[in-house]
């Protein structure tokens, strides 16, 4: 090319080429995996795939499947392996630790608190039966992610179990409140 010729223009970037995925930070990794672990009662894989592939778009479906397949060959629970491999992919060892801590940290804290409460108050038969009923009532609310129902349940438990307000008065307030919030929620869904 002669020295007096105009420079050749660089080719335009290919608009169809996929953009690189967002690189999550350590806190973002921790919070994403903490949310997965708290949402995934009985199994976190579905929540992990939804968050990683569909919600945050940190991986394609193929990349997720390949990474998860790799995790089958590593020792230990597959979802724990996935958290470490995934976090390491974006932020190295610190990312692997952040994702792992997010996955196992919140459930471990909850279990520790419940164990401490049981160790302290577990010998009280009435409390043991009450907690069993509360957990049976909570499970459908947790599976449906019914925050309002959980708040009302917790308020009733605190009012009767801790503050020691009379059952009849608490129920006279809680039942209409519960019905009203359910009706309002259904109306909002229809609208």
Sequence-ordered list of residues with C-beta below 8 angstroms from that of 36, at least 6 positions apart, any chain: 44, 47, 48, 51, 102, 103
Same domain, 109 and 149: no
Same domain, 42 and 101: yes
Same domain, 159 and 115: no
**pLDDT recorded at residue 87:** 94
**pLDDT recorded at residue 125:** 79
**Domain assignment of residue 186, given as a range:** 144-190
The predicted-structure confidence for 100-126, as pLDDT tens digits, reads as follows: 999 999 888 988 887 887 788 777 777
10: confidence class by pLDDT, cuts 50, 70, 90: very low
Residue 19 predicted with pLDDT over 70 = no
Whether 9 maps to a domain, the answer reads no
Whether 20 maps to a domain, the answer reads no
In the chain, the number of structural domains is 2
The predicted-structure confidence for 51-106, as pLDDT tens digits, reads as follows: 999 999 999 999 999 999 998 888 888 899 999 999 999 899 999 999 999 999 98
**Which residue among 64, 90, 122 closes a domain?**
122
In this prediction, what percent of the chain has a pLDDT beyond 70? 86
Whether 139 maps to a domain, the answer reads no
What six digits make up the tokens of 57? Answer: 């778009």
Report how far residue 39's alpha carbon sits from residue 49's, in angstroms, rounded to the nearest whole number. Answer: 13
**What's the predicted TM-score (pTM) here?**
0.58
Whether 13 maps to a domain, the answer reads no
Of the two residues 146 and 173, the one the predictor is more confident about is 173
Same domain, 88 and 172: no
**pLDDT recorded at residue 81:** 92
In this prediction, what percent of the chain has a pLDDT beyond 90? 29
Whether 152 maps to a domain, the answer reads yes
Report how far residue 33's alpha carbon sits from residue 43's, in angstroms, rounded to the nearest whole number. Answer: 13
Same domain, 30 and 117: yes
Average pLDDT of the segment spanning 151-160: 82
Same domain, 113 and 166: no
Of 46-60, 133-147, 161-175, where does mean pLDDT reach its minimum? 133-147
Whether 129 maps to a domain, the answer reads no
Whether 84 maps to a domain, the answer reads yes
């Amino acid at each position: 090319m002669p020295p007096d010729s105009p420079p050749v223009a660089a080719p335009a970037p290919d608009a169809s080429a996929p953009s690189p995925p967002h690189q999550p930070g350590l806190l973002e990794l921790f919070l994403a995996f903490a949310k997965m672990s708290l949402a995934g009662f009985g199994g976190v894989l579905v929540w992990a795939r939804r968050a990683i592939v569909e919600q945050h778009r940190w991986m394609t479906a193929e990349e997720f499947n390949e990474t998860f397949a790799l995790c089958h060959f590593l020792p230990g629970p597959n979802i724990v392996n996935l958290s470490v491999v995934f976090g390491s992919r974006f932020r190295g060892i610190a990312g692997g630790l952040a994702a792992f801590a997010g996955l196992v940290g919140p459930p471990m804290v909850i279990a520790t608190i419940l164990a401490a409460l049981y160790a302290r108050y577990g010998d009280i038969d009435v409390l043991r039966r009450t907690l069993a009923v509360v957990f049976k009532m909570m499970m459908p609310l947790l599976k449906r992610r019914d925050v309002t129902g959980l708040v009302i349940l917790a308020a009733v438990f605190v009012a009767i179990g801790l503050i020691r307000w009379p059952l009849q008065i608490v129920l006279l307030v809680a039942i209409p409140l519960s019905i009203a919030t359910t009706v309002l929620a259904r109306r909002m869904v229809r609208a």
